[in-house]
Structure 1
Amino acid sequence: MPSSTLLEVRDLRVVYDSPRGPVEACSAVNLDVRDGEFVGVVGESGCGKSTLLFAIAQLLSPPARVAEGTVGFHGRNLVTMTEKELNALRWKDYSVVMQSAMNALNPVTSIGAQFKDAIAAHESWSRQQIQERSVEVMRLVGIDPIHLRSFPHQLSGGMRQRAMIAMALLFTPDLIIMDEPTSALDVVAQRSLMVQIKELQQLLGFAVIFVTHDMSLVSHFSDRLLVMYAGQVVEAGPTRTVFDSPSHPYSEGLLNAFPSIRGPKVPLTGIPGAPPNLADLPSGCRFHPRCPKVMDRCHTEAPELYPVGEVLSRCLLHQGSEAAS
């Protein structure tokens, strides 16, 4: 079972500087990740998922910046660390698997050479040690070590993603952050890769933050779920609880947009409209223009995260639920 807290994100606010002023992409986000835990972050495109991930990993580049908040990792605040200090932690203590392996991997360098560069940045291993570790991690992710001599374009999409995961495991870090690693894969390859990730996590004990827009993908693999909308966390709690009884209308809408393999066939409803422009957010609740349960006060009153059983929900329907319980 997950035990001690590995990552503590507190009141994290990320903005993109623009000629009109700062545009807020993440608004006061809080997140705890415990040792060995699998946390899914879901939501539509443009809701701040990848921005949150890059802020946690301290990989933001201008015009994006962390305006407020802390990212505590092993008790150290990553936000205030220098680039040199961060480089000592990256790959060794935490690693990132990017969305597109074809873009993340160097197209003119073999997989083995890229593994060697990652290891050489942290350790002074012999050529034999590097080769042995490279072979070991390739086998861990189910790729024949002969492909250490291959270039990225010679591998399929699924193999490239597995190679990225293998590189992320070179030092067996405590935390692996994954930004939609299955988005470019077909459904069979998606399932295969997710099973592989979960098996590796259980074998090696690392924690995972898995960012995706596909709620069905994390339903069987994540322990806890964060649902994001317009830069805010609108629901957070155990994955099974969120799926069985979503407490926020947005979570409910996302679930209704995916077909179920059980029960009678029902039409998919989806969510009308699109997420708001972050530079021109609606007043009150940010979801109210699309919400089927909107009330008059939703137009003016901004909800906080209210406790609803095991979850937290940013909906005025649950205001006062803490006092009632």
Structure 2
Amino acid sequence: MSKLLQVTGLSVTYDTSSGPVTAVDQVDLDVQSGEFVGIVGESGCGKSTLLFAIAQLLTPPASVAGGEVIFRGQNMVAMNAGELAPIRWRNMSVVMQSAMNALNPVKRIRAQYADAMKAHGIRSKIEIRQRSEEVLELVGIDRVHLNSFPHQLSGGMRQRAMIAMALLFTPELVIMDEPTSALDVVAQRSLMLQIKELQQQLGFAVIFVTHDMSLVSHFSDRLMVMYAAQEMEYGPTRQVFDSPAHPYSRGLLDAFPQIRGPRVPLQGIPGAPPNLTAMPPGCRFEPRCPLRFDACAVTQPALYQVADVQARCLLHDPDHRDKAELGRDR
């Protein structure tokens, strides 16, 4: 697979009355053509902000403070609105968290699809109608609903209508920000199966943000775990689930019920994420980490290579790991 997206050192800040607050801190991410990448983490860790920065959809008070987003060989951070317009929807599309908020409530579905296609130079009414019918049927909705307003559709149908809109031009990358969060469990699984089927059928790549570990475990190829604006772990999904290299990843998995195997009590992660305006001087997870040692409180860990994954934990730094083990032996 060829590399479609390369994010390097991406940082996003929010301007506040007390100064800029970093919501995404030097995150690296790459996506191959046709790959499904999941991003998980607690609320407020920067997942959605990261997606909006990749798609260059940030609005004040948020702004990109540094880094690059190389998509199809072009740095989107350095592009202006006129240069970005032809890329959005045609090469890269976004499915928002709430379809009811993303769709225009006073326009029929067909009118919203037509607006998107006209913005990219398609003027033929016949072509617009045919493509609108095609994408709606791709996601399992009868074409008669092109005449519906968003409020006339169920939650699952609205989400599917948004996905259909994202596929109008068969883009190479579809970015999805918690598209299943407002759906029940049955509708979630049905929608995810359809997304995966469409991805395999059409060959587009997916970046998928969610709180649901079960979704990414079944559908993603690689997984990024975020915490307090940083990536804590990134690598093949199966390896992260089978052998998590970061204590935070392990904490998330311990709080997730297992369907198979012996019954074990669920364990939450004690405490709360740090205030973004007052980060701990060392590891950001240190105040909540069951494996912390003295160096964690004062040393900011880098990303260390552990087999096929990268993990931001001093336990994978040989010098600090040896000192931690020596301290425990005493």
SS in 1 for 2:67: strand
Superposed, which structure 2 residues align to 1:79-158 within 5 Å?
79-158=77-156
SS in 2 for 1:219: helix
1:228 corresponds to: 226
1:303 corresponds to: 301
2:278 corresponds to: 280
Q: Is 1:24 aligned with 2:18?
A: no
| Rounded Cα–Cα distance in structure 1 between residues aligned with 2:271 and 2:180 | 26
How far 1:282 sits from its partner (Å)? 1.0
1:214 corresponds to: 212
Gaps of 5+ in 1: none
Asked if the contact 2:96–2:179 (Cα under 8 Å) also holds between the matched residues in 1, the reply is yes
Q: What is the aligned residue count?
A: 321
Asked if the contact 1:13–1:24 (Cα under 8 Å) also holds between the matched residues in 2, the reply is yes
How far 1:33 sits from its partner (Å)? 0.5
Asked if the contact 1:43–1:214 (Cα under 8 Å) also holds between the matched residues in 2, the reply is no
| Rounded Cα–Cα distance in structure 2 between residues aligned with 1:320 and 1:196 | 45
Asked if the contact 1:284–1:298 (Cα under 8 Å) also holds between the matched residues in 2, the reply is yes
The residue type equivalent to 1:319 in the other structure is: D
SS in 2 for 1:216: helix
| Rounded Cα–Cα distance in structure 2 between residues aligned with 1:110 and 1:88 | 24
How far 1:320 sits from its partner (Å)? 2.8
How far 1:214 sits from its partner (Å)? 1.6
How far 1:76 sits from its partner (Å)? 0.4
1:61 corresponds to: 59
Asked if the contact 2:235–2:309 (Cα under 8 Å) also holds between the matched residues in 1, the reply is yes
CA deviation vs aligned residue, 1:114-165 (integer Å, no higher than 9, x gap):
0000000002331111111111001100001110000000000000000000
CA deviation vs aligned residue, 1:25-73 (integer Å, no higher than 9, x gap):
1111001101000000100000000000000000000110001001000
Asked if the contact 2:236–2:309 (Cα under 8 Å) also holds between the matched residues in 1, the reply is yes
Q: Is 1:205 aligned with 2:203?
A: yes
- Tell me the TM-score normalized by structure 1: 0.97
- Tell me the TM-score normalized by structure 2: 0.96
Asked if the contact 1:47–1:228 (Cα under 8 Å) also holds between the matched residues in 2, the reply is yes
How far 1:283 sits from its partner (Å)? 1.4
The residue type equivalent to 1:121 in the other structure is: A
Q: Percent identity?
A: 70
Asked if the contact 1:230–1:276 (Cα under 8 Å) also holds between the matched residues in 2, the reply is yes
The residue type equivalent to 2:67 in the other structure is: G
| Rounded Cα–Cα distance in structure 2 between residues aligned with 1:277 and 1:39 | 27
Runs of at least 4 residues off by over 3 Å: none
SS in 2 for 1:165: helix
1:36 corresponds to: 34
